[in-house]
Amino acid sequence: MGMVLGVVDRLCCSPINMNLHRLLRNKWAGALTLAALWFFAAGCATPGRVATTPPTGEPIHPGAVWPDDRGQHLQAHGGGILKVGRTYYWFGEDRSTGLDPARRYVSCYSSSDLAHWTFRNQVVKLTDPENLGRRWVLERPKVFYNSKTRQYVLYAHIDGNGYRFASVAVLVCEQVDGDYRYLRSFRPLGHESRDIGQFIDDDGSAYLIFEDRPYGFRIAKLSPDYLGVEKEMCLIPKHMEGGAVVHYHGLYYAIGSALTGWKPNPNQYATAPSLSGPWSAFKDIAPPESNTYGSQSTMMLKVVGTQATTVIFMGDIWKPQNQRDSRYLWMPLEIGNGKLWLPEPKPWTLDLKTGVARTIPSP
């Protein structure tokens, strides 16, 4: 380990240096950091550039620094993905340094292979629209496309410093990566709403998942124009956030994390034959002692290929002391027959055409 630390200290990449010693105290974080180092060192080998443009099939490295086309670590925390045509758009909290402290930012990236991301725009650069105070928050943005109104509709958790406003913000835009306009905030169906999640079913219907602190978490259908929430599908009476749902081979799988703020905890899942339930008991998605390998769920992304359907777990590895350096844990899930399991994070590749995901064997 001492040798590894020595090598790390000589590396050119300061964000890793700053956090390395702390990270390596923890087993899982240590493993993820080594993956990050490998990846980052490869980037640093090309003078003046962190990101290269590798060929399709380039691995995704869970927990690593993930540079965009500009060589900057992706700022899409607590994010979500929308597929438009063949292009994936990743939206998330932009927590870069040097931003205007009065504003909250959402960035948008595009990709055709889920591994290489091109920065498109800071689609939200909003000043406090509801007089929530200096430390107001705009978190977990999710974008839906409404084909009837031809509008992109962005939902986010909007709150004050004490998280008592507990509402959603709705913003719209005619272009997927344009500048979104703030419309309003509200409590879905009159309920408290903190962490939100997004689910689009195979028939295209769109749902908001939201954490309702007194009761549990709810899944509710959006109104026809997506600007409101019109019908509750279920209340799962379990106190969970970071909620995500996937429909896989006739069964709905819901995952979420416990309420431990930025600290990771064992995320769990339940299944149901329909969104309105009945939902099974919750079970761990990973060895509980790993605390979901240091991450918290934000979405499950289903990729349907010619040979396989892969469901990707998308989680955030939060770094509350240095949020811009928070990482992403993306891994293909083992899923089917009512079971869901997040394997130990390893670099992996995805063939978008066939839908086949492969982990890369350790050297």
Choice from 70, 102, 223, 262 touching ligand GAL (CB under 6 A): 262
Residue 18: strand, helix, or coil: helix
Name residue, tokens 């590895």.
317
Q: Is 241 in the site for ligand GAL (CB under 6 A)?
A: yes
Q: Is 140 in the site for ligand GAL (CB under 6 A)?
A: yes
Q: Tell me the C-alpha distance between 92 and 331, whole Å.
A: 18
CB 260 within 8 A of CB 296: no
Binders of ligand GAL among residues 77 to 96 (CB under 6 A) are: 78
Q: How far is the CB of 225 from ligand GAL (least distance, A)?
A: 27
Q: How far is the CB of 208 from ligand GAL (least distance, A)?
A: 15
Q: Is 192 in the site for ligand GAL (CB under 6 A)?
A: no
- Letters for 282-301 (x = contact with ligand GAL by CB under 6 A, - = none) are --------------x-----
Q: How far is the CB of 125 from ligand GAL (least distance, A)?
A: 20
Q: How far is the CB of 32 from ligand GAL (least distance, A)?
A: 19
Binders of ligand GAL among residues 301 to 360 (CB under 6 A) are: none
Q: Is 261 in the site for ligand GAL (CB under 6 A)?
A: yes
The smaller minimum CB distance to ligand GAL, of residues 68 and 241, is found at: 241
Half-sphere exposure for 162 (CA within 13 Å, toward CB) = 2
Question: Alpha carbon of 23 to those of 30, 48, 96, 130, 283: distances in Å?
Answer: 6, 26, 21, 38, 28
Q: How far is the CB of 140 from ligand GAL (least distance, A)?
A: 5
Q: How far is the CB of 347 from ligand GAL (least distance, A)?
A: 26
Nearest residue to 142 (alpha-carbon basis) of 212, 213, 243: 243
Question: Alpha carbon of 34 to those of 6, 162, 254: distances in Å?
Answer: 13, 36, 31
**If binding means CB under 6 A, how many residues of this protein chain bind ligand GAL?**
9
- In the DSSP assignment, the letter for residue 80 is E
Q: How far is the CB of 47 from ligand GAL (least distance, A)?
A: 37
Residue 41: strand, helix, or coil: helix
The smaller minimum CB distance to ligand GAL, of residues 110 and 290, is found at: 290
Q: How far is the CB of 230 from ligand GAL (least distance, A)?
A: 25
Q: Tell me the C-alpha distance between 292 and 286, whole Å.
A: 6
Own/partner long-range contacts of 213-216 (Cβ < 8 Å, ≥24 apart): 213/166, 213/239, 215/191, 216/240
The smaller minimum CB distance to ligand GAL, of residues 16 and 300, is found at: 300
Q: Tell me the C-alpha distance between 171 and 183, whole Å.
A: 5
Phi and psi for 285 in degrees, rounded to 5? Answer: -95, -10
Residue count of the chain, please give it: 363
Nearest residue to 185 (alpha-carbon basis) of 137, 146, 218, 220: 137
Choice from 177, 192, 195, 212 touching ligand GAL (CB under 6 A): 195
Q: Is 141 in the site for ligand GAL (CB under 6 A)?
A: no
Q: Is 243 in the site for ligand GAL (CB under 6 A)?
A: no
Residues forming contacts to ligand GAL in the complex (CB under 6 A) are 78, 139-140, 195, 241-242, 261-262, 296
